[in-house]
Amino acid sequence: MIRILANDGIADNGKQLLEEAGFSVDTTKIPQDELMTRLNDYDAIIVRSATEVRKELIDATPNLKAILRGGVGIDNIDHEYAESKGIPTYNTPAASSQAVAELVFAHFFALSRFLHRSNRELTRPDGNFNKLKKAYSEGQQLRGRTLVVVGFGRIGIAIGRIALGLGMKVVPVDPYKEKETVKLDFADGRSIDFNFDMVSLDEAISQADYITINVPGGDLMGAEEIARMKDGVIIANTSRGGVINEDALLEALNSGKVAGAALDVFVDEPNPRRDLLEHPRVSVTPHIGAATAEAQDNIGVELFEKIRDHFGKQ
């Protein structure tokens, strides 16, 4: 029997599908420092963000036949090295796109109408209703605003659909494609296709009212890029910590150049810097972009399909 270690867990539906197909699934959490001696008891490992699968672990587990990531990014896996050893890495890029897209807009609405602050301040014993009503009376609507989507893959397209439905202008940035068609479906069965040409990052950020970043990693935005943005821009990062330079972002928040930042990811997870977490212009969540029941079920199904197809070919 093929043994699967779901070290960071797996949705119940995914576990059930795997077991019904004849796989053994162990959801017992093995600490990172014990994996070197215990992972070789398994044929495949499923991870999320918590577990790292690096070169040393791969070398220590010659029985390993597949590595799976329940999510999009695979930066916690030395996937190129694994591939060189004949061990493929799979992720689940389609499963959580809608969940991440909706979180982006939850943050955008919160920052645009000061929900992240009024929810805290009005409930305090000393919360002054009339004072807060005046302080937070100058919010802005998203309709008619320009949204720059950096990274126009599955998540970026899902974000684009929501933005189009809200009446925003969508400006996509993606160096790996030239054009993209986004289909907007309606409940009555009608649909509209929107055709987009990609725009360079430099050209896009100068016209953005809102920016959302959906890339697998890298150092994408620093002080120079922020300087080219409009005053009062609102930025969301739900991709990877460090894509926006945190020092440059903090300086721009303090000056008002950036009116708001929505951060679901940080450089020093799980201990993000306090000056960002506590900044009044920042809306934060603890890396929960894909953390909806629907997304987790989708991930479970996609993981099952990847494992079934992989071992079906052995």
Read out DSSP for 73-86?
A: --TTB-HHHHHHTT
> Catalytic site residue 79?
no
Q: What is the CB neighbour count within 10 angstroms for residue 293?
A: 9
How far CA 123 is from CA of 60, 99, 128, 310, in Å, comes to: 53, 28, 9, 52
Q: Mean pLDDT in the chain? A: 95
CA angle 232, 238, 242 (to 5 degrees): 85
Residues 299 and 219 in one domain: no
Residues 138 and 270 in one domain: yes
Residues 153 and 24 in one domain: no
Mean pLDDT of 258-280: 96
Residues 137 and 231 in one domain: yes
Residues 75 and 24 in one domain: yes
pLDDT given for residue 123 in this prediction:
94
pLDDT tens-place string over residues 114-169: 999 999 999 999 999 999 999 999 999 999 999 999 999 999 999 999 999 999 99
Q: Where are the alpha helices (DSSP H) in the chain?
A: 12-20, 35-38, 55-60, 79-84, 97-112, 115-121, 129-135, 154-166, 201-205, 223-227, 246-255, 274-277, 293-312
Q: Are strands 44-47 and 66-69 parallel, antiparallel or unpaired?
A: parallel
Residues 182 and 233 in one domain: yes
Per-residue confidence band for 49, with pLDDT thresholds at 50, 70 and 90:
confident
> In the chain, what percentage of residues exceed pLDDT 70?
99
Quick check: 203 pLDDT over 80?
yes
Mean pLDDT of 188-209: 96
Residues 106 and 211 in one domain: yes
* Residue among 244, 245, 283, 243 nearest 264 (CA): 283
> Catalytic site residue 269?
yes
Q: Where are the alpha helices (DSSP H) in 21-138?
A: 35-38, 55-60, 79-84, 97-112, 115-121, 129-135
Considering 34, 83, 269, 294, which one is annotated as catalytic? 269
Query: What's the CATH number where 191 sits?
Result: 3.40.50.720
Residues 28 and 156 in one domain: no
Query: Given CA atoms 133, 138, 144, 145 in this order, what sign does their dihedral have?
Result: negative
Per-residue confidence band for 313, with pLDDT thresholds at 50, 70 and 90:
low
Mean pLDDT of 254-267: 97
Residues 145 and 50 in one domain: no
Q: How far, in whole angstroms, is CA 211 from its chain's centroid?
A: 14
pLDDT given for residue 16 in this prediction:
97
> Catalytic site residue 287?
yes
Give the number of domains in the chain. Answer: 2
Residues 100 and 88 in one domain: no
What is the phi-psi region of residue 114: left when phi exceeds 0, alpha when psi lies from -120 to 50, beta otherwise? left
Considering 161, 279, 287, 302, which one is annotated as catalytic? 287
Q: Which residues contact 291 (CB under 8 A, 6 or more apart)?
A: 99
Residues 223 and 149 in one domain: yes
> In the chain, what percentage of residues exceed pLDDT 90?
93
Mean pLDDT of 282-298: 95
Residues 103 and 199 in one domain: yes
What DSSP element (H or E) covers 179? strand 179-185
Per-residue confidence band for 51, with pLDDT thresholds at 50, 70 and 90:
very high
Quick check: 72 pLDDT over 90?
no
Q: Are strands 191-197 and 179-185 parallel, antiparallel or unpaired?
A: antiparallel
Domain of residue 75: give its range.
Answer: 3-92+293-312
Considering 116, 161, 240, 281, which one is annotated as catalytic? 240
Buried b or exposed e, range 128-150, using 16+ CB within 10 angstroms: eeeebeeeeeeeeebeebbbbbb
**C-alpha to C-alpha distance for 261 and 235, rounded to whole angstroms:** 5
